Amino acid sequence: MTTTTSRATTNLEQMRRIFNPRGVAVVGASTQPGRIGYAVVENLKNGGYAGGVYPINNRAEPGQALLGYPILKGVADITGPVDVAVIAVPAALVPGLVPEIAAKGITGMIVISSGFSETGNVDLQKQLQAAAKQHGVRVMGPNIYGYYYTPQKLCATFCTPYSEQGGVALVSQSGGVGMAILGYSRSKKMGVSAIVGLGNKSDIDEDDLLEYFGQDDNTKVVAIHMEDLKDGRAFLEAAKKVTKHKPVVVLKAGRTSQGARAAASHTAALAGQDRVYDAAFQQAGVIRANTLEELLDWARVLQMLPDPAGEDVVIITGAGGLGVLLSDACEDYGLELMKMPKDLDEAFRKFIPPFGAAGNPVDITGGEPPATYENCIRMAIREPRIHSLVIGYWHTIITPPMVFAELLAKVVREEAANGFTKPVLATLAGDVAVEDASRYLEERGIPAYPYAPEKAVAALGAKYKFWRGSKAG
């Protein structure tokens, strides 16, 4: 085993080095736009990565450059510090690269190349694993799109750069799912710390990443798409530690017998009994999503919402019908509608028409001006017995969507400055103007759902799952 003085020895040290590399080599760099070996170099540059970038191609001619970087014939020729090598050469050549990479002191190989066990070449993947283990190099992949780490402006991938910095670390086993993650995140302006493809998981898997993200101050929420767990025990141990202070959401694909069959043919994943996964996730405090949209929406909202101080949820709505749908969803997602105390009931009644309904949902009725929404929302945010607030807005001429959005954002901001914070989410029922109003709210940190009341409650339910687990832990 070749070692250098700077060799990282623990998993955490190795992951730190991989996510914060001093330099990145791109093995299989290409001067042809459209090729993976070109796109990776281009993304490192355009993403704004500040470390060293080293295109490597053993057929490089002296003096040849790519996007301003000299192309080197081998990693041995790199003169600056380098911690990561992104690999984009044909699969058969990959295991042979390991000794040279290890000799250079590189910690992690990011193997984009496909053509390993996913195409039946199990032996080739075993060769790669054996070489990497022998030489003390960690492998991400093979068969992946690469990875992003926004705190370092690192886009070590052939996909397009991602620049919205934030606290969600997203991990996926499948490239297709990874691309959906990228598009969804960009569309929703989700602040992201990392997007990582795990592919065949020949070495680095979910528990390795959890250990890093758990202690990473840039990461507030971890969201994982997986088709299997190579080491269930290690995952659960790692997850248990993280979920005490950061939410971990998992979409376990291959939940059903038809899905498990598809997963087996896809990555040769041994999809376990789903009930075993379910029990294990619950025990580890992991929030389980059933669809890709749940995984992504919950991750997004978990980052936006502060923790609640208790179980009592209040709904304030301009439309009784929305109140009913929101109440149904509260029961579906395990949330408790607060039993409204008499004094609070009376206090709400002062703001709403005599035929409005206090109790919970607080139904302010549809004909009310902005002041009624504002008074009720402000009181609910200031009231310590109310722990979370879901608002069902009804589009009317008297309180148009943007007027509602501006007043809600203002009240939340003002009361946060006064020291009153709690989860506040909104759903907006109305004509298409509610879409702009929802975007306005989201940009100000308030989750807002046009036309889809139940989704607001589902996301709050995910927050409560995390909060209960972290409290118990």
Structure tokens at 169: 């670390």
CA distance 161 to 49: 11
* Residues 279-318, mask of contacts with a copy of itself (x by CB under 8 A): -----------xxxx--x------------------x-xx
Of 365-384, binders to a copy of itself (CB under 8 A) are 366-367
Terminal Cα-to-Cα distance of the chain (whole angstroms): 41
Nearer of residues 103 and 268 to a copy of itself, judged by Cβ = 268
What are the C-alpha distances in Å from 219 to residues 110, 127, 213, 247? 21, 34, 6, 10
Give the position of tokens 């609640």: 308
Q: Which of 152, 267, 303, 388 binds a copy of itself (CB under 8 A)?
A: 267
| Residue of 34, 62, 68, 384 interacting with a copy of itself (CB under 8 A) | 34
Grouping H, G, I as helix, E, B as strand and the rest as coil, residue 446 is coil
- What is residue 206's three-state secondary structure? helix
| 305 CB neighbour count, 10 Å cutoff | 22
Query: Of residues 66, 101, 329, 376, which one binds a copy of itself by CB under 8 A?
Result: 329
Structure token pair of residue 190: 């989700």
Report the alpha-carbon distance of residue 214 to residue 242 in Å, rounded.
5
Tell the smallest beta-carbon distance from residue 430 to a copy of itself (Å). Answer: 5
Provide the 3-class DSSP secondary structure of residue 226: strand
**Which of 125-133, 232-240, 241-249, 329-337 is the region at the interface with a copy of itself (rule: CB under 8 A)?**
329-337
The correct pick among 99, 136, 272, 321 for binding a copy of itself (CB under 8 A) is 321
443 contributes a contact to a copy of itself by CB under 8 A: no
Instruction: Work out which of 389, 409, 429, 460 binds a copy of itself, going by CB under 8 A.
Output: 429
CB of 77 to a copy of itself, least distance (A): 29
Of these, 23, 450, 461, 469, which contacts a copy of itself (CB under 8 A)? Answer: 450
Among 7, 133, 255, 382, binds a copy of itself (CB under 8 A): 255
Instruction: Check whether the bond before 361 is cis (ω within 30° of 0).
Output: yes
8 Å CB contact between 278 and 235:
no
Q: What residues numbered 55-94 form the site for a copy of itself, per CB under 8 A?
A: none
Report cis status (omega within 30 of 0) of the bond before 142. Answer: yes
DSSP 403: H
According to CB under 8 A, which residues from 144 to 203 bind a copy of itself? 159-160, 172-177, 179-180, 182-184, 186-187
Strand pairing partners for 21?
A: none
Using CB under 8 A, pick the residue from 455, 460, 462, 463 that binds a copy of itself.
455
When the beta carbons of 374 and 435 are compared against a copy of itself, the nearer one is: 435
> Helices (DSSP H) in 136-174: which residue ranges?
none
Return the range that interacts with a copy of itself (CB under 8 A); candidates 13-21, 50-58, 132-140, 391-399.
Answer: 391-399
From 13, 123, 164, 431, residue interacting with a copy of itself (rule: CB under 8 A): 431
